[in-house]
């Protein structure tokens, strides 16, 4: 039997639940369709939820309501070579006050909570339901079918929020059938249980404060980086690799992750912990140039399905962009209902809303970052340069010291080459 709604959202991740919540609060009859047995069941990510202005508007007490772990007060970057490392850390007072700048979370808890808020607002959540086909009539999307279920779900507008591989966007003809491996990354993560007191002591934290650290030079020559984030009583530790570079290396992500966990600097941080689980997932890292068609007649695309992920090498922002784009897709669907216009033109307001938001503005500002990050020297030579420079600066030999600028020039010439340094500096300047 077919059922009709005013809108259908495919996927109850952050993008989909934010869209459903927005539409349900405006009184639309919305179906939120999720393939898992509950929202977030199999969803994974690194671990840092960046501040969500999209949800703070709806829930001014967001940080008290949502199931969060620790709020991030310290952010660090570690440059590593085999046996040396150099860390930089920012610990800001403003990160330690509400509205906090970011949190660690667990997706199964967070995604489930957000979907439940959409249900409280009036959305109908349909779980264990994999969307199969996209129904179209005269070029207009009119609904979806669910795998192994009879009948169809019908609605004048469908929001495709089914993640990076979005078959909904593909079947609606809004994205190309294959991906460029140069625009994709794969992330692997280990969740390691560790007592909260030990985490506080080891990372200098108190009162549910959290630490987020990124690592460069830890991927055995594969383009990528590492991360370690503190949850309440566990650590999320992992690596992210450019897919093309990983493929070319012939190495496996889990071997590289195990080697990372055994590196002396990381081993000290996870010492005494108990491995709970491994997980892996793809990330659309191509930035602005990877964005597919965002809307068509009767359809909108949000979150990772629309490649709205900002990987700059400094930060990986995905959930905040997914949630914001979901809210904007919801607002566009509400406007289309008011105007009774679900044509491509009627739904083009979504693109205008996105263009005015920080989502598209940030992706445009950092448009050159993905290409810049394809430079192998970032993952090999530069960590060596930084570590060797700092080592020489602090080493006492009992002989006269060279000053910093001379040491820098010598290390730069040895490790990277001055021409490369100038070219890379220019490229980073333009990209960041």
Return d(Cα 16, Cα 375) in angstroms, integer.
34
Cβ pair 69, 231 in contact under 8 A? yes
162-201 residues near ligand FAD, rule: CB under 6 A: 162-163, 167, 187, 189
Taking CB under 6 A as the criterion, the residue among 6, 22, 43, 312 binding ligand FAD is 43
- The conformation of residue 43, written as its DSSP 8-state character, comes to -
d(CA 375, CA 394): 29
Distance CA 191, CA 177 (A): 33
- Residue 75's Cβ-count burial label (10 Å; 0-12, 13-18, 19+) is buried
Query: Within 10 A of 429 (CB to CB), how many other CB atoms are there?
Result: 10
Q: Does 79 bind ligand FAD (CB under 6 A)?
A: no
Taking CB under 6 A as the rule, which mask of x and - marks residues 299-318 in contact with ligand FAD? ----xxx---x------xxx
Of residues 55, 270, 301, 322, which one binds ligand FAD by CB under 6 A? 322
Measured from the CB atom, is 161 or 261 closer to ligand FAD? 161
Question: Measured from the CB atom, is 317 or 362 closer to ligand FAD?
Answer: 317
Burial class (CB in 10 A: 0-12, 13-18, 19+), 96: middle
Say which residues have a Cβ less than 8 Å from residue 116's Cβ, sequence separation at least 6: none
- Contact with ligand FAD (CB under 6 A) among 5, 9, 36, 246: 36
Environment class of residue 154 by beta-carbon count within 10 Å: exposed (0-12), middle (13-18) or buried (19+)?
Answer: middle
Residue 60 sits at φ, ψ, to 5 deg, of -60, -20
Whichever of 184 and 431 has its CB closer to ligand FAD, that residue is 184
User: Considering only residues 24, 157, 297, 319, which one is a binding residue for ligand FAD as defined by CB under 6 A?
Assistant: 319
Tell how strand 3-4 and strand 153-154 pair up: parallel
Q: Which range binds ligand FAD by CB under 6 A, 93-101, 155-163, 260-268, 355-363?
A: 155-163
Closest distance of CB 200 from ligand FAD, Å: 21
Residues in the chain: 432
* Positions in 244-283 near ligand FAD (CB under 6 A): 281, 283
The nearer residue to ligand FAD, 114 or 421, going by C-beta atoms, is 114
> Residues interacting with ligand FAD, by CB under 6 A?
10-16, 33-36, 39, 43, 45-48, 50, 130-131, 161-163, 167, 187, 189, 238, 240, 281, 283, 303-305, 309, 316-320, 322
């Amino acid at each position: 039997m077919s059922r009709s709604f005013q809108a259908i959202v495919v996927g109850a991740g952050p993008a989909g639940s934010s869209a459903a919540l927005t539409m349900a609060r405006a009184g639309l009859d919305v179906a939120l369709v999720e393939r898992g047995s509950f929202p977030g069941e199999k969803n994974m990510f690194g671990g840092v939820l960046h501040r969500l202005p999209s949800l703070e508007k709806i829930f001014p007490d967001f940080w008290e309501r949502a199931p969060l772990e620790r709020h991030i007060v310290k952010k660090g970057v570690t440059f590593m070579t085999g046996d040396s490392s150099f860390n930089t850390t920012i610990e800001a007072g403003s990160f330690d006050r509400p509205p906090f700048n970011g949190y660690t979370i667990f997706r199964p808890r967070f995604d489930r909570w957000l979907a439940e808020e959409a249900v409280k607002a009036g959305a109908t959540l349909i779980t264990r339901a994999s969307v199969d086909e996209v129904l179209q009539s005269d070029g207009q999307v009119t609904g979806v079918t669910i795998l192994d279920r009879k009948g169809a779900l019908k609605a004048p507008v469908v929001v495709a929020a089914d993640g990076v591989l979005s078959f909904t966007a593909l079947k609606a003809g809004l994205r190309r059938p294959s991906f460029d491996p140069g625009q994709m990354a794969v992330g692997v993560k280990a969740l390691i249980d560790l007592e909260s007191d030990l985490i506080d002591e080891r990372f200098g934290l108190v009162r549910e404060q959290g630490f987020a650290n990124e690592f460069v030079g830890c991927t055995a020559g594969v383009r990528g980086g590492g991360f370690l984030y503190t949850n309440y009583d566990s650590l999320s530790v992992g690596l992210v690799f450019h897919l093309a570079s990983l493929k070319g290396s012939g190495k496996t992500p889990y071997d590289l992750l195990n080697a990372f966990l055994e590196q002396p600097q990381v081993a000290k941080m996870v010492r005494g912990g108990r491995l709970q689980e491994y997980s892996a997932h793809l990330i659309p890292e191509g930035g602005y140039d990877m964005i597919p068609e965002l809307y068509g007649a009767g359809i909108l695309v949000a979150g990772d399905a629309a490649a709205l992920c900002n990987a700059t090498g400094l930060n990986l922002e995905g959930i905040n962009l997914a949630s914001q784009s979901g809210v904007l897709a919801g607002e566009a669907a509400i406007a289309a209902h008011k105007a009774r216009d679900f044509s491509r033109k009627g739904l083009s307001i979504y693109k205008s809303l996105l263009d005015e938001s920080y989502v598209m503005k940030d992706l445009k500002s950092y448009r050159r970052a993905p290409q810049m990050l394809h430079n192998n020297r970032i993952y090999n030579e530069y960590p060596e340069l930084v570590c060797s420079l700092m080592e020489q600066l602090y080493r006492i030999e009992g002989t006269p010291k060279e000053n910093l600028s001379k040491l820098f020039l010598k290390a730069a010439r040895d490790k990277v080459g001055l021409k490369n340094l100038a070219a890379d500096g220019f490229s980073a300047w333009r990209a960041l």
